[in-house]
Amino acid sequence: MLSERQLCLLEKLENQNLAMKELARGLNVSSRTVLRDIDYLNFTLSDAARISTNGSGYQLEIFDRGRYFQQLQRHDNDDKMLFVLLTNIYTTRLQLAEWLNLPEKIVNDQLARLKLRYERWFTITSRPNSGHFVDETRRKKLIILANLIKKDPRMACANLNLESHVFQVLQQQLESIGDSPEYSATLLLAVYALRNQQPDAACGADSETFRAVYDAAGLYLSNASLQEADELFNQLRQSAAQVSAKTIGELTRELLINHGLGELDPQLLDDLTAHIARCAARPLWLQESRQGSMNNLKAAWPMAFDLSIGLINRIRQRLNIEIYDSDLIGLYFACALERNQGDKHTIILLAEQNAIATINQQAIERELHHCRVVITRQPAELFAICEEITPALIINNSHFPLETCAVETLIIKNIINPAGINLVKEKLEYSLIKQKLPLFIPEELSFVYANSPGDNWLSVIKDICARLVKRGLLHKDDANSVYRRETEGENLVVNRIAIPHCWSESSSQFRGFFVCLKHPVVVNNESVSHLLLACTSTALRQELKIFSYLASSLNRYDAQKIERIENYQQFMELLCG
């Protein structure tokens, strides 16, 4: 059985590489204990995943995500506890302790953590003299239970005193009925698990649809439960039928207009429509793991995930479809933003051989759609072009030295490969952002905020915004947008620095306010002592890349170094280092 500390260790490494010193400090144990935990985890996870060191820190490599999370499931009491709460009307703490074979005190602590873990999805509460329970509609409880079953069908069957093959039989019987037999089987097993709890009044739907399926698996249900299964599937089909390209297009265009973005990308519309239809037909409300594994992408494309949250809220309001996972929708938006970069940037390629120059030009322009490549043969020709235009980057594909060149230069020998393309992309973004950092984040807009110990994040950011508005540094609408975004959750934190942000109609360029807090505050369950309040215009597409630059720069350092930042100069040294 994995301990809570070992699960926490995996959780930390799912999102980023960490140094041994930081792991030990975060887990409040010695380095030797961390090493023992790593050895045990590598043995337990077998070939599904492995923790290794790359010289600068420790990383978790997941080779088989399905098997990895299934193995974690067997060691994680959270899902076992949730299963008990869902399948019983009330459950006392003593009953949970007996079920999990744990002391009551540990169960009490884990129950509190379980409530916190899922507070955005559903409510776990208690009633005096009765016990703890999931306080949601029966339909929602059925779907949550189905999601839990999907994570580990064998565990679910064992808890229901069923043979493990029962789930496979249900799945086989459903193959001729629908297009997702695995998900449908989880719903039918959830209905069976709650059969002894009083179902909602049956609506008279045909109760024969799934009788033969249940019979084949050796499960026998009352007519009321069979009707409930019919009605649940009908509701999901009706929900999915609402989703069309026209409807999703209208909702998405509203968002894009509000954020000052252009036309709707056809590929984005197709991706969103297909995904949302799947979410309506087969809701998945439980996280695969304790935390998301897309933190780096969220930091690089915060607008994409802001759009994702906005679209999910509109879908909930207009279509009454509940979607809780913003990650994949955010990924679709990020890909669309990447495809539709703004003005093209000029790259000068200095190359002597015509064939190699042409191949490299085509490779770069094919992969970097927002760039155009100009080929030069001699340094004199290159310098002449630089007098007419300012290139974003120079690639030296020749033997000529360019030591005196003022423009950011990258040396690449021979034909460029995929790794070289990535290097060009990184160097280009680095060059464009770095030269403008003092303009983007001016020293005169930096200050120390004397908050009190125990202040919560929303009160801190609200007061900071109010002060900036009063000083005429921040437009009132932008201040409201920043605060509203922070109230929506999934706040952006990059390596202990909070980045509250908004997409401004009044801003002509990116503006960053670097703030040192007198006392740490908790944001997204992380302690932060610094924030960068950012406002930018969506019309300035290339400046959106500054978020990617910030994430890349800040994540190079361990959290302790970030926490020791005392002023603006130290912050900028890290960004430019």
| CA 199/CA 298 separation, integer angstroms | 41
Who has greater pLDDT, 295 or 458?
A: 458
Q: Is the pLDDT of residue 381 over 90?
A: no
Residue 507 pLDDT class (50, 70, 90 cuts): low
Q: Is the pLDDT of residue 291 over 50?
A: no
Name the nearest CA neighbour of 495 among 433, 431, 565. 565
Q: Is the pLDDT of residue 290 over 60?
A: no
Contacts by residues 213-218 (CB-CB < 8 Å, ≥ 24 positions apart): 213/170, 213/173, 213/174, 213/177, 213/188, 214/170, 214/188, 216/169, 216/170, 216/173, 217/166, 217/169, 217/170, 217/173, 218/166, 218/169
Question: Count of alpha carbons within 13 Å of 155, Cβ hemisphere only?
Answer: 23
What mean pLDDT comes out for the span 365-369? 84
Average pLDDT of every residue of the chain:
87
Contact (Cβ atoms closer than 8 angstroms) between residue 539 and residue 260: yes
| CA 467/CA 485 separation, integer angstroms | 18
Output the CA torsion sign for 229, 232, 235, 240.
negative
The DSSP 8-state label assigned to residue 545 in this structure reads G
Please report the pLDDT score of residue 526 as a whole number. 86
Please report the pLDDT score of residue 295 as a whole number. 62
| CA 26/CA 563 separation, integer angstroms | 14
Please report the pLDDT score of residue 525 as a whole number. 80
Residue 543 pLDDT class (50, 70, 90 cuts): low
Please report the pLDDT score of residue 403 as a whole number. 72
Torsion angles phi and psi, residue 401, rounded to 5: -80, 145
Who has greater pLDDT, 291 or 496?
A: 496
| CA 153/CA 146 separation, integer angstroms | 9
Residue 342 pLDDT class (50, 70, 90 cuts): low
Q: Is the pLDDT of residue 327 over 80?
A: yes
pTM score of the predicted model: 0.68
Residue 259 pLDDT class (50, 70, 90 cuts): confident
Who has greater pLDDT, 199 or 134?
A: 134
Contact (Cβ atoms closer than 8 angstroms) between residue 221 and residue 189: no
Who has greater pLDDT, 438 or 466?
A: 466
Please report the pLDDT score of residue 399 as a whole number. 86
Tokens of 508: 């002509």
Contact (Cβ atoms closer than 8 angstroms) between residue 345 and residue 424: no
Please report the pLDDT score of residue 199 as a whole number. 59
What mean pLDDT comes out for the span 405-418? 84
| CA 548/CA 300 separation, integer angstroms | 4
Tokens of 513: 């306010």
For every residue of 94-107, which 3-state class applies, written as one string?
Answer: HHHHHHHCCCHHHH
Beta-carbon count within 10 A of 32 CB: 9
Least trusted range by pLDDT, from 80-84, 206-210, 537-541:
537-541
- How far is residue 288 CA from its own chain's centroid? 12
| CA 110/CA 337 separation, integer angstroms | 41
The model's pLDDT over 385-410, given as tens digits with 9 standing for 90+, comes to 887 777 888 999 988 888 777 778 88
The DSSP 8-state label assigned to residue 520 in this structure reads E
The percent of residues in the chain predicted with pLDDT above 90, rounded, is: 46
Least trusted range by pLDDT, from 215-219, 287-291, 531-535, 573-577:
287-291
Tokens of 297: 């992408």
Query: To which H or E segment does residue 433 belong?
Result: helix 418-434
What mean pLDDT comes out for the span 77-84? 90
Residue 476 pLDDT class (50, 70, 90 cuts): very high
Residue 182 CA: distances (Å) to CA of 147, 187, 235, 369: 11, 9, 18, 40
Please report the pLDDT score of residue 292 as a whole number. 43
Tokens of 29: 């144990």
Least trusted range by pLDDT, from 39-43, 52-56, 263-267:
52-56
Q: Is the pLDDT of residue 296 over 70?
A: no
Contact (Cβ atoms closer than 8 angstroms) between residue 10 and residue 71: no
CA angle 564, 565, 569 (to 5 degrees): 150
Please report the pLDDT score of residue 258 as a whole number. 81
Output the CA torsion sign for 415, 419, 425, 431.
negative
Strand partners, 350: 376, 396
Contact (Cβ atoms closer than 8 angstroms) between residue 93 and residue 129: no
